[in-house]
A and B are shown apart, each in its own frame.
Chain A
Amino acid sequence: MSIVAAGPGAAAAEAAEATRRRRRGYGRYAGVKVLGALGSLLFMLVVNFFLFRVLPGDPARTLGRGRLSTPEQLAEFKKTYGLDEPVLQQFVTYLGNLLHGDLGYSILFHKNVSEVLLERFWPTLLLVGTSTVLAAAIGVWLGIRAGWDRASPLDRFTTGGSLTLYSMPEWWLGLLLIAAFAVGIGPLPGIFPTGGLHSVDVDPASVQGVLDTAWHLTLPVITLTLAYLADYALIMRGSLIDELRSDYLTTARAKGLRDVKVRDRHAVPNALLPTTTVVALNFGFVVAGAITIETIFSIPGLGLLTTDALAVPDYWLLQGVFMLSSAAVIAANLGANLLYGWLDPRVRT
Chain B
Amino acid sequence: MSTTPVPALTARQLARRRRRAAFTHSWRRFRRSRTGTAGLLVLAFFVLVALCAPLLAPAEGLQVTQATGGVLEPPSREFWLGTDANGRSVLTLLIWGARISLFVGLMATLISMLIGTLIGLTSGYFGGWVGAVLFRLTEWFLVIPFLPLAIVLATVLGRSLVNIVIVIGVTSWPGTALLIRSQVLSIKERPYVERARALGAGHRHLIGRHLLPNVVPIVFANTTLTVAIAILSETTLSFLGLGDPTRVSWGSMLDEAYSVGAITTGSWWYFVPPGVCVVLVVLSFTLVGQALEEVLNPKLRER
Contact = CB atoms under 8 A, between A and B. Distances in A.
A interacts with B: yes
Interface of A: 36, 39-40, 43-44, 51-52, 55-56, 62, 163-164, 166-169, 171-172, 175-176, 178-179, 183-185, 194, 238, 241, 284-285, 287-289, 291-292, 295-296, 306-307, 310-311, 313, 315, 318-319, 321-322, 325-326, 329-330, 333
B156 A62 contact: yes
A270 B144 CA distance: 29
Given A55-B156, A167-B282, A179-B271, A329 B144 contact: yes
A292 B286 contact: no
Nearest to A291: B147
Contact residues of B: prevailing secondary structure: helix
A172 B278 contact: yes
Contact residues of A: prevailing secondary structure: helix
Contacts of B143: 40, 329-330, 333
Contacts of A241: 303
Contacts of A36: 136
Interface stretch (B81-89, B122-130, B260-268): B260-268
B275 A329 contact: no
A179 B263 contact: yes
B140 interface: yes
Contacts, number: 121
B152 A167 contact: no
A289 B157 CA distance: 23
Which are the 3 A-B pairs with shortest beta-carbon distances? A288-B145, A167-B282, A167-B283
Contacts of A51: 152-153, 156
Nearest to B287: A163
A326 B155 contact: no
B254 interface: yes
A286 to B, nearest CB: 10
B173 to A, nearest CB: 16
Interface of B: 136, 139-140, 143-149, 151-153, 155-157, 228, 232, 235-236, 239-242, 254, 258, 263-264, 266, 268, 271-272, 275, 278-279, 282-283, 286-287, 303
Nearest to A171: B239
A319 B151 CA distance: 10
Contact of A292 (B146, B157, B240): B240
B251 to A, nearest CB: 8
A175 B258 contact: yes
B258 A322 contact: no
Contact of A183 (B144, B156, B228, B266): B266
Given A168-B279, A169-B232, A288 B157 contact: no
A292 B140 contact: no
A322 B263 contact: no
Contacts of A169: 232, 235-236, 239, 254, 275, 278
A43 B140 contact: yes
Given A36-B136, A288-B146, A333-B143, 16 more contacts: A51-B152, A163-B286, A167-B228, A168-B278, A172-B278, A176-B275, A194-B264, A291-B147, A291-B148, A292-B240, A310-B155, A310-B241, A313-B155, A322-B148, A322-B152, A326-B149
Given A40-B140, A56-B157, A175-B258, A322 B240 contact: no
A315 B282 CA distance: 33
Contacts of A315: 155
Nearest to A244: B302
Nearest to B139: A40
A56 B156 contact: yes
Given A318-B155, A329-B145, A167 B264 contact: no
Contacts of A306: 148, 151
B266 A179 contact: yes
Contacts of B146: 288
Contacts of B278: 167-169, 172
27 contacts: A40-B140, A43-B136, A43-B140, A51-B152, A55-B156, A167-B279, A171-B239, A172-B271, A175-B254, A175-B271, A176-B275, A178-B263, A179-B263, A194-B264, A288-B146, A288-B148, A289-B145, A291-B147, A291-B240, A292-B147, A310-B240, A319-B152, A322-B151, A325-B148, A326-B148, A329-B144, A329-B145
